[in-house]
Every structure is written in structure tokens, then in C-alpha cells.
């Protein structure tokens, strides 16, 4: 197999294209599914794939916990025959590794910027360096890319215990001196995804009402810069009681990530010292079970929505 690209940022989320060799093609394409297993020192990820052509697969790159080169194994899983027509549970046939490749996880500029921004929270003049971006005329298309990548990096970054947008100054906003916060930074650049992330963090309510040295709150800045959607989001947030800070996920957690565009899923597991990793077959079984569970929940949610719509219509 050939992988493209052969490296990705730590936060993942890029599309990996897999070119299959002749010996990796199944005789009966309809009865075989392909998976990619990423194995690193402390984490392993199993992702399903989408067949985009006869000999090409696509998968969503998982997020990884450290910069390293991991081993990627392409494996096939044949579909078993259900025991009865009413049996909706997927049956798994033979699971076999087909090929291996190396893949690198790296720290990119977006991740560097995310680390820098997190480190500035609550520091006097901490964001002065970021204000230099105002002197650069970044095209709107580049700002959108920065917004997407920076938001992904911030989501993936492990925030320090007790971290807030105001550092250790988390108190009544009337007691705070005028200062530039991360919400001011995201409002100035029109970073909608980044702002949504910041609004879920501790200290967001205080930062929303806090003016900088020029007397502007984040929503004022968004309005002055013409970022209408962002201004609407910040204005709405100012009137809300405030969202609870996001909950950190345990590093031992089993996560299933779903990307609607590719319809692929990823199972991430932490490698436990002193314990043997699950077999390839066991990992595939676990991923298929979780996919089935997610689809059942989605089906139930859709049925409830349909029922509610019918009642409203009546």
C-alpha cells in the first residue's frame, strides 16, 4: 500500500488516501472491509475506511498524543453471514493484516500557536506578540484555514489543571484591570471555531465582559471588524448564563470519532503498561460494536424527532 500524506499534525483530522497494491485487493469487494491500525508507544488507533475507487481507500487521520513515527497496518475483514434475516448485528469473518507502513505525527505551526496562546492567559502583555498579526494582512481564505487548524489544535491540547482564560485571576470581572484576552484575539481575527472553543472554557463569562486597554470588549471588536456571525455569537454568549467548562476526557478512554463526509469511525485506546494489547480481531470487533451502537442511537434520535414533528403538525 501507499499512504498519502505520510505525516499529519498531532490533532489529526486530515484525510489519508490509501493506494492498494494488486495483492491487497479482495476478489469479492462487496464482502470485505478495510481498516487502518496506527500503533504508537502509548496509543493505538483503529479506523474504518471508505472505498473511493476500485483500488483506493480514504480514512480520517486520528489525533495522537505525541510526536513520533508510528506503524500503520492495513488489514481486511470479511463479512460473516447473519444467523437469521432478523439478525442485524454485523458478523465478522476472517481478519488479516495485509501491509505495513510508517506514518509520522508532527507538531505544526497551528499547534505551536495554540501552545503559545494558552501560555499567555492571565499574563500582563502576554498577547502583545499576537497583536503583531494585526500588521499582517492575512487573506480571508487563510484566516478560515487558521481558524480550523487552530481550533483543532486547541481541542487536542491538554490544558493545565485549573487553567482559565484569565489565568489565576478568575474572579469578579469588575476587579480586573483592562486587558487583552484570548477572546479579544479571536474576535479581532474573526476566528469563529476558536471562539466557540474559548466560550466553553473557565473564565469565558468574565472575559466576555472585560474591556481591553482601548475600552473594547470582544463583541465590540468583532462588530468593528465586520465579523457579523462572530459578533452575533459573542452577543448571545453575553446574555447567556454561561456554559459549563468542557470536561476533560481520560487518557484511558475509548473514543469513537465520526466524520459524516467519509462515514468513517476511529477507535482510540491507550496502551497499558504490563498488559498485552488487544488482538487485531478483538479491536475490529470492538470498533464494529461501537459503530453499531452509535447507529442505533442515531436511528432512535431520528425516530423521536420524526414523532415530535408529527405531533407539532397535528
What are the residue boundaries of the structural domains of the chain, listed by start?
A: 2-106+250-313, 109-239
* Burial label, 152 (beta-carbon count in 10 A; 0-12, 13-18, 19+): buried
Starting at the edge strand that comes first in sequence, how are the strands of the sheet with 7-9 ordered? 7-9, 92-106, 68-79, 32-39, 43-48, 264-270, 255-259
The residues, ordered by sequence, that sit 6+ positions from 114 with a Cβ below 8 Å of its Cβ are: 150, 153, 154, 157
pTM of the model: 0.80
pLDDT for 257: 65
- Tell me whether domains 2-106+250-313 and 109-239 share a fold: no
C-alpha–C-alpha distance, residues 146 and 288, integer Å: 34
Q: At what angle do helices 182-189 and 140-156 cross, to 10 degrees?
A: 150
Q: Is the pLDDT score of 246 beyond 50? A: no
Cell 504508537, located at residue = 40
pLDDT for 248: 37
Q: Residues 133-177: pLDDT tens digits?
A: 554 556 667 888 999 999 999 999 999 988 999 886 655 545 678
C-alpha–C-alpha distance, residues 113 and 132, integer Å: 13
Cis peptide before 5 (omega within 30 of 0): yes
The residues, ordered by sequence, that sit 6+ positions from 113 with a Cβ below 8 Å of its Cβ are: 150, 153
pLDDT for 128: 63
Quick one: what percent of the chain has pLDDT higher than 90? Answer: 53
Q: Tell me which architecture the domain covering 109-239 has in CATH.
A: Alpha Horseshoe (1.25)
Q: Is the pLDDT score of 268 beyond 60? A: yes
Mean pLDDT of the chain: 83
Average pLDDT in the 233-239 region? 91
Instruction: Choose which CATH entry (3.30.470.10, 3.90.79.10, 3.40.50.720, 2.60.40.10) describes domain 2-106+250-313.
Output: 2.60.40.10
Average pLDDT in the 184-210 region? 93
Amino acid at each position: 500500500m501507499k499512504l498519502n500524506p505520510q505525516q499529519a499534525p498531532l490533532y489529526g483530522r486530515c484525510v489519508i488516501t490509501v493506494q492498494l497494491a494488486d495483492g491487497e485487493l479482495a476478489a469479492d469487494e462487496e464482502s470485505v472491509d478495510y481498516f487502518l491500525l496506527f500503533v504508537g508507544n502509548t496509543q493505538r488507533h483503529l479506523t474504518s475506511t471508505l472505498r473511493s475507487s476500485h483500488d483506493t481507500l480514504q480514512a480520517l487521520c486520528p489525533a495522537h498524543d505525541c510526536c513520533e513515527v508510528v506503524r500503520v497496518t492495513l488489514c481486511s475483514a470479511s463479512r460473516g453471514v447473519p444467523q437469521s434475516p432478523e439478525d442485524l448485528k454485523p458478523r465478522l469473518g476472517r481478519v488479516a493484516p495485509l501491509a505495513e507502513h510508517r506514518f509520522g505525527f508532527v507538531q505544526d505551526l497551528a499547534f505551536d500557536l495554540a501552545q503559545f496562546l494558552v501560555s499567555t492567559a492571565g499574563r500582563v502583555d502576554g498577547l502583545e506578540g499576537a497583536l503583531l498579526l494585526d500588521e499582517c494582512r492575512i487573506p480571508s481564505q487563510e484566516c478560515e484555514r487558521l481558524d480550523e487548524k487552530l481550533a483543532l489544535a486547541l481541542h487536542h491540547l491538554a490544558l493545565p489543571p485549573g487553567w482559565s482564560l484569565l489565568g489565576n485571576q478568575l474572579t469578579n470581572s469588575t476587579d480586573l484591570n483592562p486587558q487583552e484576552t484570548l477572546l479579544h484575539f479571536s474576535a479581532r481575527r474573526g476566528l469563529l471555531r476558536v471562539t466557540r472553543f474559548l466560550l466553553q472554557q473557565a473564565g469565558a463569562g468574565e472575559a466576555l465582559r472585560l474591556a481591553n486597554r482601548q475600552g473594547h470588549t470582544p463583541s465590540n471588536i468583532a462588530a468593528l471588524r465586520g465579523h457579523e456571525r462572530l459578533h452575533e455569537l459573542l452577543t448571545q454568549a453575553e446574555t447567556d448564563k454561561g456554559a459549563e467548562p468542557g470536561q476533560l476526557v481520560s487518557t484511558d478512554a475509548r473514543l469513537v470519532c465520526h466524520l459524516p463526509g467519509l462515514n468513517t469511525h476511529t477507535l482510540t485506546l491507550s496502551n497499558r503498561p504490563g498488559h498485552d494489547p488487544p488482538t487485531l480481531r478483538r479491536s475490529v470487533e470492538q470498533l464494529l460494536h461501537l459503530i453499531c451502537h452509535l447507529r442505533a442511537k442515531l436511528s432512535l434520535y431520528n425516530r423521536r424527532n420524526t414523532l415530535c414533528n408529527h405531533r407539532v403538525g397535528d
